[in-house]
A and B are shown apart, each in its own frame.
Chain A
């Protein structure tokens, strides 16, 4: 069982290392929150999110095709390979899209794909940056009035923003756990070798491993991008990302937190009349959408065919 789960644990590690930056990157990069505090908060809320809200995503991914423990391993291994391959080439990558691509590869191999479920997933992928953009515009209007009313001096504003980043980061971590844990161990819950709760626990703990061991450097890099924004605008972006990812966790479709944060930053940029995201970033996201599932599907399909010829 441990060997079958190794691909998932590796995938969870990569997810934790990369995606923690989207929820706490700003606070850590600006030294508003210490990395150790941020890592502890992320771990607690990722596990909580996975246990309390991770079932929906697991049902969706589990229902896309029929899985056995062997194909579940191939799925997570192919997704992990894709994430590593794309990261090595500095190409944008989404774990959610890698996993769904890998499931599709297995689906093609066994000749069974739930196209209805797949359509729902694809609509959610497109809806992630757009939803985050709309959420950030709405939240900006909603929060700027009370913020201006209460934060009449710099120290009060500092207090509100500091706690805003901490609460927003914790919410983002909860949403990350609830939404993305299905990517890590959803296929194992889907094939019935693990209970959804056990899958959520193993998946979230492997995400935590990535957060604790490797996320600091990514946080500092990604966080700096948001630091260029005004503090209130950066907070709105973080909250919008959390809201969007949480929404899709409730819908039950794993989405990319990176694409959510880019959409949110684009939204507040539009409001402030500032070009926050350039065309190159948008082209890279589009490439990520197309390339990640395609590469992952190809790898998993090939691995499945090799496995079947030997089995």
Chain B
């Protein structure tokens, strides 16, 4: 038996269908993804500052938890989509977009795990470059988040914002190449060079994934017009 409050919601649900619920859950996903990325960047900046200690490992766990919450929300949205929420064309769009966007927090989680497990010693002369790489990657994921919010306001604006993500990703790529060259010019052991290169590529690939997700969003924005 429904109570008075639930009864009042029924007409609203009938009017909106399951679309309103998907909209709400998608908003939650974007907020959780932002939270996961913020924790990741905090983790990385703190790691550069003082290396990997017990307090930092807890931040790593927080990154993992945030990524896990992202997965839960994504699975819930996909479950609702398979049950027939939204019309089929939009169902496919949201599904592809979520799959692409979810690779961003996934990569953040695996990178923070690698840092925490390997505890690679970043040479002092490379730390500022690392901070710059992190700042550029942050800008890129923030731009992705901004463009994703166009899903709720005006999808056509997403096309322009997606171009911004592309440009920021190019800046990350440029910095990544410069850093790898610098690592191999340094006078350190080859094993450390390989580990540093891997770390740089891992961080930069977050921006690659953000760009891929922005491209999916751009396609949705372009085909959204009747």
Contacts and interface: CB of A to CB of B under 8 A. Distances in A.
Interface stretch (B80-88, B117-125, B196-204): B80-88
Contact of A154 (B16, B83, B220): B220
A155 B88 contact: no
B127 interface: no
Interface residues of A, number: 23
Given A31-B84, A154-B93, A159-B17, A148 B154 contact: no
B51 interface: no
A212 B89 CA distance: 28
Interface string A238-251: 00000000000000
Nearest to A229: B89
A152 B89 contact: no
A36 interface: no
A30 B88 contact: yes
Nearest to A34: B84
B22 A32 contact: no
B225 A162 contact: no
Contacts of B225: 148
B226 A144 contact: yes
A231 interface: yes
A13 to B, nearest CB: 29
Contact of A152 (B22, B94, B156): B156
21 contacts: A30-B88, A32-B87, A144-B226, A147-B226, A148-B225, A151-B226, A152-B154, A152-B156, A153-B152, A153-B154, A154-B86, A154-B90, A154-B224, A158-B19, A158-B87, A159-B17, A161-B87, A227-B88, A230-B226, A231-B89, A232-B226
Interface of B: 15-17, 19-20, 22-23, 83-84, 86-90, 93-94, 150-156, 220, 223-226
